[in-house]
């Protein structure tokens, strides 16, 4: 048999009536509120800041006074020569003798600059050559140990400045390999004697570029 709930213990028995009554009461309250209080607006608060009074002051315009220029300095008194001194002065003749032989002025002395560097030609008729050929320079090359371990090979281009006596006065590395190869090539070129370059049969200072080969055996 199914168990029946007792009427006083059933909570859902009057739920529908209570819900409808609560809705009706809420609607009545809303109608009364709109009827008796139709215009409800929030009050606006106006804040008035205190006004500051600014006093204007009249600024007097200044005038620039034109000062008079300073008085000129008094002249320095110069003692005039006496009459006795003027009698001893002999005035030379200002007449020009056209027929007189006048020696020409000496030529200007040329100032020689001892610190001036000599000029080196880039191209001449007979370019300087190392005595013994390029092989003489290659025989003086000491292959750097660092370059050997790193397996560096190639060419180093050295510019040599050869004077009239065939001596290398200065060297410059145009293109190097590094790892000590540039220094070795520079040292070998400095220690080499050259046949001086010639222009019109006369020895002159010439600059020449020499390739140095670095190759591992």
CATH number, domain with residue 173: 3.30.2420.10
Does residue 193 contact residue 132 with C-beta atoms inside 8 Å?
no
Count of the separate structural domains present in the chain: 1
Lowest average pLDDT, out of 45-49, 123-127, 197-201, goes to 45-49
Which residues have a Cβ under 8 Å from the Cβ of 140 and sit 6 or more positions away? 187, 188, 191, 192
pLDDT of residue 67: 76
- Is the pLDDT confidence value at 25 over 80? yes
Does residue 189 contact residue 168 with C-beta atoms inside 8 Å?
yes
In a domain, 117, yes or no: no
In a domain, 171, yes or no: yes
In a domain, 123, yes or no: no
In a domain, 57, yes or no: no
- Is the pLDDT confidence value at 92 over 80? no
Phi, psi of 94 (to 5 degrees): -100, 10
In a domain, 141, yes or no: yes
In a domain, 91, yes or no: no
Range of the domain at 158: 129-214
Residue corresponding to tokens 């409808």: 20
187 CB burial (10 A radius; 0-12, 13-18, 19+):
middle
0.75 surpassed by pTM? no
Phi, psi of 170 (to 5 degrees): -155, 150
User: What's the average model confidence in pLDDT over 163-180?
Assistant: 86
User: What's the average model confidence in pLDDT over 25-29?
Assistant: 88
Q: 74 or 122: whose pLDDT is higher?
A: 122
The 8-class DSSP code of residue 2 comes to -
To 10 degrees, the CA torsion angle through 187, 192, 196, 197? -60
Structure tokens at 57: 């002051």
Looking at the chain, the whole-number percentage of residues with pLDDT higher than 90 is 0
In a domain, 204, yes or no: yes
> Of 146, 143, 145, 168, which Cα lies nearest the Cα of 158?
168
Please state, as a whole number, how many other Cβ atoms lie within 10 Å of the Cβ of residue 160.
23
Q: What is the mean pLDDT of the chain?
A: 76
In a domain, 122, yes or no: no
CA 122/CA 162 separation, integer angstroms: 11
């Amino acid at each position: 048999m199914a168990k029946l709930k007792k009427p006083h213990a059933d909570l859902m028995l009057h739920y529908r009536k209570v819900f409808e009554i609560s809705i009706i009461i809420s609607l009545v309250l809303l109608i009364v509120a709109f009827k008796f209080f139709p215009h409800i607006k929030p009050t606006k608060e106006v804040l008035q800041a205190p006004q500051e009074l600014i006093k204007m002051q009249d600024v007097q315009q200044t005038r620039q006074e034109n000062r008079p220029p300073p008085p000129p300095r008094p002249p320095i008194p110069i003692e005039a020569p006496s009459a006795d001194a003027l009698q001893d002065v002999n005035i030379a003749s200002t007449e020009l003798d056209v027929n007189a032989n006048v020696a020409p002025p000496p030529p200007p002395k040329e100032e020689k600059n001892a610190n001036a560097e000599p000029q080196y030609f880039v191209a001449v008729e007979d370019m300087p050559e190392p005595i013994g050929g390029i092989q003489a320079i290659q025989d003086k090359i000491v292959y750097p140990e660092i370059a050997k371990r790193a397996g560096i090979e190639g060419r180093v281009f050295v510019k040599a400045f050869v004077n009239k006596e065939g001596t290398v006065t200065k060297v410059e590395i145009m293109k190097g390999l590094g790892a000590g190869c540039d220094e070795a090539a520079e040292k070998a070129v400095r220690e080499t004697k050259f046949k001086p370059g010639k222009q019109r049969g006369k020895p002159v200072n010439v600059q020449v570029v020499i390739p140095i080969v670095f190759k591992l055996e």
